Amino acid sequence: MEFKDKLKWKKCSKCEFLQHPSHLRCLNCKNDKFIFIESTDKCTLLTYTILKAPPMEFRSQKSYALGLVEFNNGIKALGQLSTDLELVPGMQLKPVFKKICENLNGEEIYSFIFVPL
């Protein structure tokens, strides 16, 4: 497993649109020149939902929270929250890279989860 400490996003060098790094062209202006930017150490919870019927990969959990967060530099991300208790939009979180589940083939899946500060 390769450890990841920052989320990396593409910023269009022409219009400065932020987007997921998998896109080859800017979704806004179709430019193909980008700079990579990294997330900061803190983010703000914008909104969240509690999943009471999680997918099979999360069968060991009765429920879990997903949240939309925004970093100070404009990066937005959707991810699992470490708790579903006392969540309040506007609260400060930090990203932590860890195992989130095992897929249906039994392989470990790693991603960022967001933990309250």
- 23-63 pLDDT per residue, tens: 999 999 999 999 999 988 899 999 999 999 888 888 788 88
CATH number for position 78: 2.40.50
Identify the burial level of 17 via C-beta atoms within 10 angstroms of its C-beta, where 0-12 means exposed, 13-18 middle and 19 or more buried.
middle
Same domain for 54 and 2, yes or no, is no
Same domain for 65 and 19: no
Q: What share of the chain is helix, strand, coil (3-state, %, to 5)?
A: 5, 45, 50
Residue percentage of the chain with pLDDT more than 90? 62
Tokens 């497993």 belong to 1
Q: Is residue 55 domain-shared with residue 111, that is, in the same domain?
A: yes
Higher pLDDT, 30 or 101: 30
90 pLDDT more than 70: yes
Could you give the number of structural domains in the chain?
A: 2
| Partners of 69 in the β-ladder | 45, 77
Q: Are residues 48 and 100 in the same domain?
A: yes
Q: Which residues contact 71 (CB under 8 A, 6 or more apart)?
A: 7, 39, 40, 42, 43, 77
pTM of the prediction? 0.82
Domain of residue 29, residue span? 1-38
46 with 63, same domain?
yes
